[in-house]
Amino acid sequence: MLGEFVSRQSAAVLAARTRQQAQRLLDFDPDVVRACYNQTPFLLKHRLTEHLGFSLPTLFGLCRRLPREQVKYRVGAIPGDTNFDASFTRFSEGLTLDDVLERFEESKAYICVYNPERDPAYRPVLEGLLAEIAAGIEAIDPVITWYSTYIFISTRDSVTPYHMDREMNYLLQIRGEKTAYLWNPRDDEVMTPAEKDRLLADFDSRRPVYKASFEAKSMRYELRPGLGVHHPFIAPHRVHTGSDLSVSLAFTFRTQTSDVWSRAHAFNHVLRVCGLSPAPVGQGHLYADRAKAVASRAMRGPVRLLQRGWRASAIAGLSRP
């Protein structure tokens, strides 16, 4: 799995370290966080624009020294309803990383750097962000258990197609401008309970798809350098680069509570495959979701065997005349 797991002890140390810092990279308004976190998107200010690591030459140097599987690229301007997970394969034909880096704007390219926190030069600033986020949400959503970061470098009119992450996210704009569209993940028209269950249970399945009827329900946020937007848990989103080159950082993370939700969704998915209609996750008391999460962990081995059987049955069915 991409990203970094965070032990309980490490999370406590990071949160304590941040409380002692005078200068911070993120400006959290406690009242806004308390009212909006994991409920609805909200804007926040940051100071990453002052960090030299996010200049274009330094970022291109990062792209050249990272393992190739951590640097994905494609043309930037693609349809907003494209399958997100297939977009780099589908729209990178004829491009090489060297060409993209040497003729970035001319290539009208889009680069995503996966897990820059693994690079020694970037790890300190990204661990600093982790510590600040952990401290910022500590009162309402302890403890961060995992995180993963992504740097997006995009030319004008680039598009990050509609999709949803399987965690929470802060998208921080560092250079240029972007428009972020987000949707309410609790809206059953946007994502049905069954779609959410499958999203968190089967990482190989396609994420829930965009429909034109969703557009009127989108929430629009204009991002400029120094501004970021919070994405609640599994909130669908689509992002458009403005008329100039853009650099932004996505900081995705999970917490103990979101881990409970994820496991409860996975348990629900198993029940649905068995023909049952479980109560949706998040609509009852958290104790019910915790019970499902415990059951999900206990069933992990048997469920994997069942999944292999389901896949084998499906393949056998397809092979029959």
**pLDDT one-digit tens code per residue, 81-118:** 999 999 999 999 999 999 999 999 999 999 999 999 99
Distance CA 113, CA 142 (A): 28
pLDDT for residue 16: 75
pTM: 0.91
Query: Is pLDDT above 70 for 120?
Result: yes
- Read off the pLDDT of each residue in 20-42 and give the average, rounded to a whole number: 93
pLDDT for residue 319: 45
HSE on the CB side for 85, CA within 13 Å? Answer: 10
Angle between helices 256-273 and 286-298 (to 10 degrees): 70
pLDDT for residue 18: 72
pLDDT for residue 283: 81
Angle between helices 256-273 and 300-319 (to 10 degrees): 40
Tell me the pLDDT tens digit for each residue of 217-229.
999 999 999 999 9
Tell me the pLDDT tens digit for each residue of 265-285.
999 999 999 999 999 998 877
pLDDT for residue 12: 75
Tell me the pLDDT tens digit for each residue of 41-70.
999 999 999 999 999 999 999 999 999 999
Angle between helices 256-273 and 193-201 (to 10 degrees): 110
Domains annotated for the chain, with CATH where assigned, are 4-255 (2.60.120.650), 260-319 (no CATH)
Residue in 108, 170, 113 with CA at minimum distance from that of residue 136: 170
Distance CA 174, CA 94 (A): 29
Query: Is pLDDT above 90 for 211?
Result: yes
